[in-house]
Structure 1
Amino acid sequence: MATVSHSAAASHVGRIRSNNQDSGYSGQHLFLVADGMGGHAGGDVASAIATKRIIEADRDYQSPQDAEFALQAALIAANSLLAETVYEHTELTGMGTTVSALVVLNDEVAIAHIGDSRIYLLREGELSQITIDHTFVQRLVDSGRITEQEAMVHPRRSVLMRVLGDVEAAPEIDTSILATFAGDRWLICSDGLSGVVSNASIAAALSSGLDPQGVADRLVKESLDGGAPDNVTIVVVDIGAPDERVDTPVVVGSASAPLAFGEEPGRSRALRMSSLRLHPVRETHFEPDSQDYLTELIEEDARRARRRKATWLAGVILLIVALVGGGVLGYQWTQTRYYVGVEGSTVAIFRGVQQDLGPISLHSVYEETPLQVTDLRVYDRQQVEQTISASSLDEARLVIERLTKAKNE
């Protein structure tokens, strides 16, 4: 039997953001990352509220199915709590959060996921992405409209299709149960890591032999080295023998600060905002409904078709220009060449080369001479019939003089 042996969590505001809208939790059985979003300071509030509510599910369960159900119920409860908070505090309208969470129960894990935070598994040196991003570009990838490489740089790669918040009363949450073995290393992270650090670098860090805290700190540093345009939060979980566990639960990010609730006249469970400071931040996420998604999908398809057509047309034009330009330059070069040959019964000077390019002749008579081919010596006649090349017009005229002089001797 295997279970959690060691775990760790780390969170950093990054190099651009003014506040940390991520939250992370490394507990006894439960581990999660929540990445908040909101037009005002709602991101940090959303991830903190959701994390504090879901943490209540950190306990032992009779079966992984019970853990899976409890996780899903905790996320739905967190969603309702966020909607209630927005109702009481309209300045937080539009706030929401992703959640990627897992519960380890002996040699199985129960997973719940919504949004674009991710869960990875390193097993025997091989890294696998366990969750699927609930993003607009991921749907474009799944439908074959763009590639994984195009998704990495897509201008709308941060657009979320599913989150916890005041959008839906019963959001669709992905859940699953997977086997886990001693030696497995699980990683939960916000897109502040996965959007900056490559899978190869993530795999290298997880395989480095460092303990979970060392891995988490290394990955945070790599994100900062990559510019860290967003908050980055990381939870690392090692699976080992049941009697090895020595870690205590830890909360990081916005959920590590106190959120005070209390009763106010005319309001239920009103949120005291005095402990929170509002920071206007640039909006990076939103969640279109299904109709908006279909409209966006059609528009994205049309944009891609136009881009492909424009790229193809530009390529054809460049090819034509290159061919025409090369042809013009090539023809101009041929017209700097001369040779002596036969024109009818006389010897003539030709300009160009003795070749044709399809219907285009690359040579023409430049100058006729009174010298008759039959008057030439046998050897000179054979040379003229086979043509005598000249590098210039003057050299061609010297050939004519030589032939004339040889005829008269």
Structure 2
Amino acid sequence: MALVTESAAVSHVGRVRSNNQDSGYAGQSLFAVADGMGGHAGGDVASALALNKLLEIDGEYSSAVDAEFALQEAIVSANAILAEAVYEHPELTGMGTTLSALVRVGHSVALAHIGDSRIYRFRDSKLTQITTDHTFVQRLVDNGRITAEEAKVHPRRSVLMRVLGDVDSTPDVDLQVMDTRPGDRWLLCSDGLTGVVENDDIAQTLAEHPSPQEVADLLVKTSLDHGAPDNVTVVVVDISESFTGSTYIAQTVGAASRPIAFGGAQGRKATRMPGLRLHPRAAGSTEPSHFEAQSDDYLDELIDEDRRRSRRRKLTWLAGSIVVAIAIALSLLLAYQWTQTRYFVGQTNGHVAIYQGVQQTIGPVSLSHVYEDTGISVSQLPAYMQTQVENTISADSIDAAKTTVENIAATVPGG
């Protein structure tokens, strides 16, 4: 029996973006996802150009090594096409794209990867991330500077260290050949999925649904349910055995499924902007969701900047804590000073006494103290007056308290 593939590709603009800059493809032996960047000026153009060039190698190969070589050549050509597009259309300067691709050849797959889109393999109920993100935070994780959990919320998590674009004529692409077998399920996706959906949830969806189309639809829906701040593209590939040859209907989704539209002036040499890859998080936004750092010097700069940010955050937190502590202390002081303007009549050591303050306490701290022991014995007072003194009698001022004491003294028999 021959190994065959069943696949599905789905792409969605998400809930925030106004256009889809992702591209996806599921074909005969080739499966790929590209996530474009460069804003409205060219993210969709970059992913579509790269993917359309890659489609030319979809077909049969005598070995996975041949397929790996074809992937490499196609990606280098795609990179050159992007550079030429920027030369002819200066308004596209700064555009780029990630690219993750898989070619199945018999019991093997050839993989190519650059950027932060991902390839996963689901085998024996276990989800394994095959590719490594080419991001700033992943390098920090690899160097032991931060944990994987910290990377998810790091302010520089969108910085890409490698992409296809108009800067590097020889892009550094990860290439490898791996085995595959019946029952394997491969997932290719943009970070619009992995940025909001946890791996455990992805694995559960891959495990519970037999149809690649159903899985792809549900994964995209899950991303949408989590807010989908970015475009999301999913390609699912199942490996199975069959006595007959595989039949397929190629699916192209996202930006590559539409005609490529170039705009702006032509024929002028682009003003280069090395080291920058960006597209807005939302329509009209200028905040980059991805950009590419081209050198280790830039990486060191980012690390130093993060350290400075960390120090500033600590100093700001400390200053804020001091201000809050001072405000609380002043409030407590003013509140205490107010309590000392109040008086009440009660008893102490069997005598009628005037107290300054209020009867409440804060923990072990009493907010009142004996202002004057009048010497009047509580036991000499009539029963009703004893009860009032024991329950305390409030007074608005020291004069009112003394008047209360005089009235109490007048009730003493023979007083």
TM-score (norm 2): 0.71
- Give yes or no for contact 1:4–1:104 (8 Å, CA) kept in 2: no
Say whether 1:248 aligns with 2:249: yes
> What residue number does 1:298 align with?
304
How far apart, CA to CA, are the structure 2 residues paired with 1:2 and 1:361? 87
Equivalences for residues 4-403 of structure 1 within 5 A:
4-15=4-15, 17=17, 19-39=19-39, 41-61=41-61, 63-140=63-140, 142=142, 151-152=151-152, 157-243=157-243, 245-257=246-258, 284=288, 285-290=290-295, 291-322=297-328, 325-326=331-332, 329=335, 339-341=346-348, 348-351=353-356, 364-369=369-374, 371=375, 390=392, 392=394
Residue 249 of structure 1 and its aligned partner are, at CA, apart by: 3.1
SS at match of 2:169: coil
How far apart, CA to CA, are the structure 2 residues paired with 1:50 and 1:5? 23
How far does the alpha carbon of each residue in 1:160-192 deviate from its partner, in whole angstroms, 9 at most, with x for none? 221111111222222344444433322111223
How far apart, CA to CA, are the structure 2 residues paired with 1:232 and 1:356? 59
SS at match of 1:35: strand
- Give yes or no for contact 2:339–2:367 (8 Å, CA) kept in 1: no
- Give yes or no for contact 1:338–1:353 (8 Å, CA) kept in 2: no
Q: Which amino acid aligns with 2:188?
A: I
How far apart, CA to CA, are the structure 1 residues paired with 2:409 and 2:356? 19
How far apart, CA to CA, are the structure 2 residues paired with 1:356 and 1:44? 68
After superposition, the Cα gap between the structure-2 partners of 1:407 and 1:160, relative to the gap in structure 1 and judged at 3 Å, is: same
Residue 195 of structure 1 and its aligned partner are, at CA, apart by: 3.1
Moved more, 80-89 or 397-406: 397-406
Residue 337 of structure 1 and its aligned partner are, at CA, apart by: 5.7
SS at match of 2:208: coil
SS at match of 1:303: helix
TM-score (norm 1): 0.72
- Give yes or no for contact 1:189–1:235 (8 Å, CA) kept in 2: yes
- Give yes or no for contact 1:65–1:177 (8 Å, CA) kept in 2: yes
Q: Which amino acid aligns with 1:162?
A: R
- Give yes or no for contact 2:31–2:235 (8 Å, CA) kept in 1: yes
Residue 33 of structure 1 and its aligned partner are, at CA, apart by: 0.5
Moved more, 71-80 or 347-356: 347-356
How far apart, CA to CA, are the structure 1 residues paired with 2:260 and 2:61? 28
After superposition, the Cα gap between the structure-2 partners of 1:3 and 1:333, relative to the gap in structure 1 and judged at 3 Å, is: farther
How far does the alpha carbon of each residue in 1:13-51 deviate from its partner, in whole angstroms, 9 at most, with x for none? 445555433221212332110122235543333222222
What percent of counterpart residues are identical? 52
Stretches of structure 2 lacking an aligned partner (at least 5 in a row): 262-266, 268-282, 381-388
After superposition, the Cα gap between the structure-2 partners of 1:312 and 1:302, relative to the gap in structure 1 and judged at 3 Å, is: same
How far apart, CA to CA, are the structure 1 residues paired with 2:248 and 2:198? 29
How far apart, CA to CA, are the structure 2 residues paired with 1:57 and 1:5? 17
How far apart, CA to CA, are the structure 2 residues paired with 1:308 and 1:32? 44
After superposition, the Cα gap between the structure-2 partners of 1:318 and 1:108, relative to the gap in structure 1 and judged at 3 Å, is: farther
Residue 153 of structure 1 and its aligned partner are, at CA, apart by: 5.4
Alignment RMSD: 4.5
SS at match of 2:46: helix
